[in-house]
Structure 1
Amino acid sequence: MPNASARPKHSRRTRRRRREDPARNELVSSSLESAQQCLFNQDYGTAFVHYLLVLNLAPVFKDFARESFRFTLFKWAEELDSVGRIQDLFSCYEQALELFPADEVILNSMGEHLFRMGFRDEAAGHFHKALKLRPDYPEARENFYRVANWLVERWHFLMLNDRGRNQKYQQAIQKAVQSGCNTVLDIGTGTGILGMCAKKAGAAEVYACELSKTMYELACEVVTANGMEGSIKILHMKSLEMEVPKDIPHRVSLVVTETVDAGLFGEGIIESLVHAWHHLLLPPQRGENEFSEQSATGRVIPAGATVFGMAVECVEIRRHHRLCVSEVGGLSMAATGELRSPVSCSSEPDDSMEPYTTERLSRLPGGYKPLTEAFKALNIDFNNLQELEGLSSREVQQICLPIIQEGELDALAVWFQLHLDEESSLSTGPQEDTCWEQAIYPVHTAKRDKLIIEISCRDAYLRLCSVAVLREGHEIRLDRHPDAQSSGNASKNPNPEAELCNALACLQTGQNQTKDFCMLECSEMALLNNLDYHQSFCSALGKLVSRLKVKCQKQEQRPDLTDPASSTNCTDPLYVLDVSEGFSLLSLIAASQGNVKAYSSVEKDKQQEVLKRIARSNNISEQHLEFWLNHMEDEQGMLKRPSQEKLWSAIILDCVETCGLIRQKLMEKASLARCLLEEGGHIFPERIVVHGMLVESDILLLESAVQGQEPTLGFNIAPFINQFTVPVHVFLDFSTLECRHLSEPVELFVLDLMDANTNYTNREVKVQATSAGRITAVPFWYHIYLDQEISVSTLSQNSHWKQAAAVLQQPLEVRVGDWVHLAVRLHKSTISISAHKKSAKIDGFK
């Protein structure tokens, strides 16, 4: 037994209390007091510095000062933003997140700044982190839903749901690995699926690279969940930056990739494969008669591609890329000059223009009409380094295409066949059920007999240009200035031919024409072509101006003698403010009403010049048009009185985004606008009525999340990528959506911009099923009421808006006559929709 008389041993010393540092305490105390005083004086920059000092020296104050610190940070960030000190702004946020790394409010706010600066991927990452910390945080959830398309693009879901495509890639990779390609690099790995296919096929070493931070992190999670963490090395970098042996120990025998877009080369596959052949891949297989000491050879999947094209007529494409009307809202458009969308192809690269856009031809409203047979535009062998390196310097190829149907040429549509190996291929053609869209090269032309197309690959982009017409044996060039064309052919061609040449050349948007043009976004061009929209505004504005003039005349005849301020002068102009996003003619339409001074929110110099030209040609004095944003620092400052004595007669708000969503902070802007109206003044529109319908649509499910219970090719991917499911589908063409209508259209919600007292935040709507089926989504659109009588619909055939759909997480089975309850909620201009029948409840959000 232990010696009871023995002195006990102390195994550890008693912890000494930390000695107080009076000087430190005094500094913390005085800095905290100074921070609070600076905050009271609205000196946010100094307050922020004091708070940083306090919280770094005395973290015990974090909980106490958190709210004040947040407020100070946000106010100081607003000031830095307003003066363009962006680097300092993000530095402040980084310092704040060092102190509060798990603060969802700060993360969300930094994401909002990143998004405004154009850093969408980084912004979405911050919103996602905030949402993980607090899943019920509505601001982060709504922000995340709005930007998640940039974080994980929607085609990932379609691609993973495309079983045929996945199986063909898996089979091609399996064949290559089993034939000896046992070291593999997956370029642009995305979810990691192709790299995992290689490992499952028996590859000894598998490497992968991914540039997107979000997709890189997702791929790491997926690979780990599938038990391949130690056998697939994933690098967060571009393949162009990879080196041997720095990043991978030696050259690989197989590169797999799907870095192809609708135009085949748009994601840089040529550059990445040229680099891979030079630095990362074993040499290609030599010819049979050539001797090589190198036993191992390299190869690429896909092995190559064949590009096809077709000339088409399509009104939907036309109205998004060129001005199709001569008059808008009573204004002659003759003086606009040349207006272009940002998509215009030329054999000579132009950084200001995109060579093509993308569309799913099978879903275009109004359809399309082929004007030529499909033609083969290009063949490319990805396993031939010489061919890859010579692509950009290939001679321009000319193809003469007979016109098989008379019509107006609006675009060249392009698709390709991707050859995975000698036996297997994938087609992205317009008749195929594929996750790819088609590339669209808009052109301007008229009726023709034969069309001459030039095909080139300058700067490794596929470029197709309509350059000439062959009519009655004469070649009429479309890429020369009309004056030079007509003068050069005057002696050879009679007048009708010269006139035809001049007319066609004037329609062409080739690069060799005049540089004096104005660029509009495709949605802005479609808006300009929306005659019903502008005519409705013209009528509504005319009614308001007439009513206010009559009111003014009555007040002038019978002024209130007891109130000198009530006397009016009807010669004073009415003030109209247009705060539409982007290019808008509404200010000019207002100014054309007579004795109206209109304020436009158009910012770009060339677009302002277009408005000035239209004003002059329509006899609208320059004094009646002002560009308000030229003098304003921010939008909040813009919504103020034109002078201390005057209020706005009308304020035009841009309420709906082109994608089909209500604009953020719309209700807050409407609340401010109501305070700035004169008596009898009006907000346009005055209210928005949301309409919707119950539908069954498998395609919306496929585009929203990975479907089914079975793993994708045997891999567990869905639970990880479905974290980024956005329960709203935007940029929807409801008129061409593959779906079954399960109900009649119903009114879902009303937003009143003129009368705040009539608004509500929640509404339950009962909808009766008219057909049996599975409710998978609730598409919605808007009736925009400019006044009580005049409205425009975002569902109309000529609408420049698209529609959106709340997609249900689980389909809801209904029978004919069943009543479905839709709970519609408004939160900060964002509408959420949930549906339930009896006790079953399914949620969908917007």
Structure 2
Amino acid sequence: MRFLLNKTLLPFFSFSPKTSVSPQTIANFKVTTVRTMGSGSTQRMFQLKLDPLTGNSEWVVVEEDEAPEDCQKPLLAATSYLDMLNDTRRNRAYREAIDKTITKPCHVLDIGAGTGLLSMMAARAMGTADSSSSSKGMVTACESYLPMVKLMRKVVRANCMERKVRVINKRSDELEIGVDITSRADVLVSEILDSELLGEGVIPTLQHAHDKLLVENPQTVPYRATTYGQLVESIYLWKLHDLYNNEAKASDGIHLAPKGLETILCVKSQQLPLHCDSMNEEIKLLSEPFKIFEFDFWKRPESHGETELHIKATNDGTVHAVVSWWILQLDSEGTILYSTSPKWISCPFEIKESQSSFSSDGDWCDHWKQCVWFIPGKGLSIHKDEVVHLNAVHSDISISYDVKSQPARTEAGQHDSCTPSFQLILSPERVAVYGDNNWRCLILKAVNDALQRSPSLCVVADDSVFLPIAIAYLSKTSHIISLFPGLKEKGAQYLQAVAAANGFSMDRVEVLKKRVSQLTMHDTYQKKVDLLIGEPFYCGSEDAVPWQNLRFWKERTMLESVLSKDVVIMPCKGILKACAMSLPDLWRSHCCLKEIEGFDHSVVNATLGACGDSPATQESPCLPFFIWQCGEIKELSEIITVMEFDFLKPISSCSGKAQVEFTNQGVCHGFAFWIDWVMDAENSIVLSTGPDQRYWKQGVKLLAKPVAVKTHRSDGGECCSSEIEASFHPSNGELVIKHTST
């Protein structure tokens, strides 16, 4: 979901790092302060700057007129705007529907206008009416997000549309007839949809618009949206949420989800956006697709809806999840459609003769994915032709499900315990990591080796809940301090709840309620720390580039005064790894924009962090992605070491350089970067976060131009290579990566 503080959704938005915006994103909000003398107002931008190495943030006030031109670049490059604007199918479908719907001058309202693309389409469809004279023949572009408003004005100006499109920097529920707009709008155009459909607040936005901003029986683009689903079996999806049954296979004696508290550590009860095509071979379909909800945009939607479906199983198996998607009907006749269905859906059933292409025919895109709803526990065991009862409920902003077997039959693999009064909510990938037997074995071996030195005081620096339990379980004498910089009190509550099940007392484990920079010998009972350890993992950094977890190095440095001379530090170092990649889908989605359906968008490229077809002198940002979900991918080189970070010493500037030798022929679109965490001095225990590890995001740096590469072969093909240079700056936590072809 792209960064959107729009419309009536704002009351639902939280400044928590668990929002859809990644932690490295800088949030900007517009504030209007009325002067006590004179007329007018002063526009100010509050810029929230986050230090990735400390987790600290501060608000900086920037006068809008004084804001540097590039202040938005780090912010907007981390959004999905560029990917969305590169979605040719989406753009074409909207253009066709707008041209078909708007056939004469009228008042058009565009809510969540973004770069103004739909507004300009609407203005062009009406002809050359002057929007400054009356409400007829005008387009009102409503956008609450200030950095995007500034960008939209540039785009509108570049296309000579200033007199046809009026830009208003407000949420739609702040608009007033007679103040902001002269009359109710005849037509609503909008694109305020996320992968789930409802998550960006389309229902409350439409409710307010129909009540306050639109004429009776308005025309709308889009006209309708319908959600569909399918029952699937997938071991991978099961591992993303069922920690209790997965860790039962580990047999290491540690219980993060003990019996009776099976859901104390769990994922949030909501749909998970996921590129299901990337795991197509691992999914077994257990039903035909089925229709769930239909939402008509041309009339006021209801806040609550519920439906019960009876779904006939097409295969024997275990239902682990409901995979869902939606089909957007943009025109009233139903001839212009857009689908987010997975590629195994060849065409939209129940809809005949469509003019539009669907996901099975379209390009990969990241701004809309499929959604996954997890079935609790081990899933629901079913047989072919058995009827599954699915109860679906939608609220203002989400859709949820409850799946049951036939009433007379008991659900297989489910536990009967009640939901505990306290639950620790973590990401699906984090839950899967904690249930992964290989990961647990590596961590436990490293911890067990460190405990051979009989440390009396151990400090867990990060947000790991596995480490304090593991140390307490393996050592009956060590005192353990967990800092929990992100989890804080929630981490303490969790440890308290599972202590008895893991055989330790909380008098040996404590959670300090202070920043690591404030920790002194008083907090350690005048003892020096013998073991400083982390995974490292920081709550809220799951969507960040991998080197943001170098926060561990910073915190190790701040603890220098309380560390013993022979302290064991785990991990003892981090290694920046890289691999040349063929990433045609990802590269295309981040290409520089030129004309979009006849409108010049080249002015947005630098701000949105466009990579492909960019000037060679323009460095592309390094952005976080799950490589395995990036459409078509191929490794073109061996994995190389670029540089190392030595955690045995205080944090410092460092740099590295490496030669990339291509081992596979293909087209190189960029490089993937990640960190391998070395847990022991012998380099025998290494935790990798590379592309073959699905539970971590990698950093991706795309090339301005794709490069065809060859290798040494018997047919005489020449060898191509590249050089990667990286430098780390502890003052701001930035890792600067540059690449040159040789």
Helix, strand or coil: the match of 1:253? strand
Match of 2:697 in 1: 802
Could you say which residue in structure 1 is the equivalent of 2:467? 586
Distance 1:643 1:418, change over 3 A: closer
For 1:328 and 1:586, how far apart are their aligned partners in 2? 16
1:700 maps onto 2:586 in alignment: yes
Using a 3 Å threshold, how does the CA distance of structure 1 residues 737 and 673 change in structure 2: closer, same or farther?
farther
Rounded Cα–Cα distance in structure 2 between residues aligned with 1:574 and 1:117: 28
Q: Which has the larger radius of gyration?
A: 1
Deviation at 1:417, TM superposition (A): 0.8
User: Compared with structure 1, are the counterparts of its residues 721 and 835 closer, same or farther at alpha carbon in structure 2 (3 Å cutoff)?
Assistant: closer
CA offset at residue 194 of structure 1? 0.3
Q: 1:583-624: CA deviations, max 9, x gaps?
A: 512012112232211112345555434323433223223322
> 1 or 2 for the larger relative contact order (CA 8 Å, sep ≥6)?
2
Work out the CA distance in 1 between the residues paired with 2:198 and 2:235. 27
**Aligned match of 1:575 in 457, 463, 484?**
457
Residue 340 (structure 2) aligned to one of 428, 431, 438 = 428
Deviation of the 1:210 alpha carbon = 0.6
Separation of aligned partners in 2, 1:404 and 1:430: 18
Partner of 1:712: 596
The verdict on how the C-alpha distance between 1:317 and 1:808 changes in structure 2, with shifts beyond 3 A counting, is same
Alignment length, in residue pairs?
A: 630
Identity %: 21
- Residues 697, 524 of structure 1: alpha-carbon distance in 2 compared, 3 angstrom cutoff: closer
User: TM-score, normalization: structure 1?
Assistant: 0.68
Instruction: Give the equivalent residue in structure 2 for 1:275.
Output: 208
Give the TM-score normalised by the residue count of structure 2.
0.77
The 8 Å contact of residues 184 and 207 in structure 1, kept in 2 or not, is answered as: yes
Q: By how many angstroms is 1:798 displaced?
A: 5.9
* CA offsets 1:36-91 (integer angstroms, 9 cap, x no match): xxxxxxxxxxxxxxxxxxxxxxxxxxxxxxxxxxxxxxxxxxxxxxxxxxxxxx9x
Q: 1:813 to 1:674 in 2, by over 3 A?
A: farther
2 CA distance for matches of 1:339 and 1:809? 47
Q: Higher helix proportion, which one?
A: 1
Distance in 1 between residues matched to 2:282 and 2:606, nearest whole Å: 32
Distance 1:280 1:384 in 2: 13
| 2:221 corresponding residue in structure 1 | 301
SS at match of 1:720: helix
Cα distance in structure 1, aligned partners of 2:273 and 2:520: 37
What are the residue-to-residue correspondences of 1:441-520 with 2, within 5 Å?
441-444=373-376, 445-449=379-383, 450-457=387-394, 459-470=395-406, 475-476=407-408, 500-501=410-411, 504=414, 506=416, 513-514=418-419, 516-520=421-425
Question: Could you tell me how far 1:364 is from its partner in structure 2?
Answer: 4.4
Question: How has the CA–CA distance of structure 1 residues 641 and 273 changed in structure 2, closer, same or farther, with 3 Å as cutoff?
Answer: same
Distance 1:114 1:672 in 2: 15
Unaligned runs of 5+ in 1: 1-89, 95-105, 285-297, 345-354, 477-496, 508-512, 550-572, 839-846
> Which residue of structure 2 aligns with residue 66 of structure 1?
none
Output the CA distance in 2 between the equivalents of 1:365 and 1:127: 50
Given residue 470 of structure 2, which amino acid in structure 1 is its aligned partner?
I
The AA in structure 2 aligned to 1:608 is: A
1:190 and 2:92 matched: no
1:331 match: 254
Look up the match of 1:682: 568
Answer whether contact 1:331 1:614 (CA < 8 A) is retained: no
Moved more, 219-228 or 648-657: 648-657
Identify which of 493, 505, 526 aligns with 2:432: 526
8 Å Cα contact 1:700/1:729 also seen in 2 = no
Query: Does the 8 Å CA contact 1:251/1:281 hold for their aligned counterparts?
Result: yes
Within the candidate set 152, 162, 179, 2:87 is matched to 162
* Change beyond 3 A, Cα 1:128–1:636: farther
Q: Aligned to 1:321, what secondary structure does the other structure show? A: coil
Taking a change above 3 Å as real, the CA distance of residues 623 and 769 of structure 1, as seen in their structure-2 partners, is same
8 Å contact 1:303–1:420 — kept in the other structure? yes
The answer on whether the counterparts of 2:547 and 2:675 sit within 8 Å (CA) in structure 1 is no
The CA deviation at 1:341 is: 3.6
Task: Describe the shift of the 1:833–1:115 C-alpha distance in structure 2 as closer, same or farther (beyond 3 A).
Answer: closer
In structure 2, the gaps of 5 or more residues are: 1-28, 34-43, 128-136, 344-358, 610-619, 712-718
Asked whether the 8 Å contact 1:183–1:254 carries over to 2, the reply is yes
Note the 1:290-689 alignment, pairs <5 A: 298-323=218-243, 324-326=246-248, 327=250, 330-333=253-256, 334-335=258-259, 336-339=261-264, 341-344=266-269, 355-364=270-279, 367-385=282-300, 388=301, 391-392=302-303, 394=305, 396-421=306-331, 422=333, 423-431=335-343, 432=359, 433=362, 435=365, 436-444=368-376, 445-449=379-383, 450-457=387-394, 459-470=395-406, 475-476=407-408, 500-501=410-411, 504=414, 506=416, 513-514=418-419, 516-522=421-427, 523-546=429-452, 548-549=453-454, 574-581=456-463, 583-594=464-475, 595-602=477-484, 603-605=487-489, 607-627=491-511, 629-630=512-513, 632=514, 634-638=515-519, 642-643=523-524, 645-655=526-536, 657-659=541-543, 660-663=545-548, 665-673=551-559, 675-689=561-575
Instruction: Give how far 1:376 is off.
Output: 0.8
In 2: Cα distance, 1:177 partner to 1:186 partner? 13
2:571 is aligned with what amino acid? Answer: P
> Conserved in 2, the CA contact under 8 Å of 1:532 and 1:792?
no
Q: Which whole-Å CA distance do the structure 1 matches of 2:389 and 2:63 have between them?
A: 50
Cα distance in 2 for residues equivalent to 1:503 and 1:310:
20
Deviations 1:676-706 (A, max 9, x none): 3324321110011121111221222234344
Distance in structure 1 (CA, Å) of the matches to 2:280 and 2:667: 25
- Cα RMSD of the aligned pairs, angstroms, is 3.4
* Deviation by residue 1:138-172 (Cα, 9 ceiling, x = unmatched): xx89xx64xx2xx4663321221111221121111
C-alpha contact (below 8 Å) 2:99/2:122 kept by paired residues: yes
Cα distance between partner residues in 2 of 1:365 and 1:577: 42
1:770 to 663, 688, 692: 663
Secondary structure class of the residue paired with 1:338: coil
Residues 507-562 of structure 1 show CA distances to partners (whole Å, capped at 9, x for unaligned) of 8xxxxx5452413211442332233333222212221221x24xxxxxxxxxxxxx
How far the C-alpha of 1:773 sits from its partner, in A, is 4.3
* Distance (Å, rounded) in 2 between the aligned partners of 1:112 and 1:541: 32
Q: CA deviation at 1:186?
A: 0.9
Would you say the 8 A contact 2:461–2:555 is kept in 1? no
Alpha carbons of structure 1 residues 693 and 503: separation in structure 2 relative to 1, 3 Å: closer
Which secondary structure does the structure 1 equivalent of 2:318 belong to? coil
Provide the C-alpha distance between the structure 1 equivalents of 2:63 and 2:667, rounded to a whole number of angstroms. Answer: 32
The answer on whether the counterparts of 2:677 and 2:687 sit within 8 Å (CA) in structure 1 is yes
Shift of 1:427: 0.6
1:259 corresponds, among 169, 187, 192, to 192
Amino acid at match of 2:283: Y
User: More deviation in 303-312 or 180-189?
Assistant: 180-189
What are the Cα deviations for residues 755-801 of structure 1, in whole angstroms up to 9, with x where unaligned? Answer: 469x8722221112234444321102222111022111113766632
Taking the aligned partners of 1:130 and 1:321, their CA distance within structure 2 comes to: 47
Q: Secondary structure at the match of 2:554?
A: helix
Letter in 2 for 1:238: R
Where 1:220 maps in the other structure, the secondary structure is: helix
Range with greater deviation from structure 2 (155-164 or 253-262): 155-164
Provide, for residues 794-818 of structure 1, a one-character-per-residue CA deviation record: whole Å limited to 9, x for no partner: 1376663222212223434544311
* 1:318-353 Cα deviation digits (max 9, x unpaired): 333231312575414435442354532xxxxxxxxx
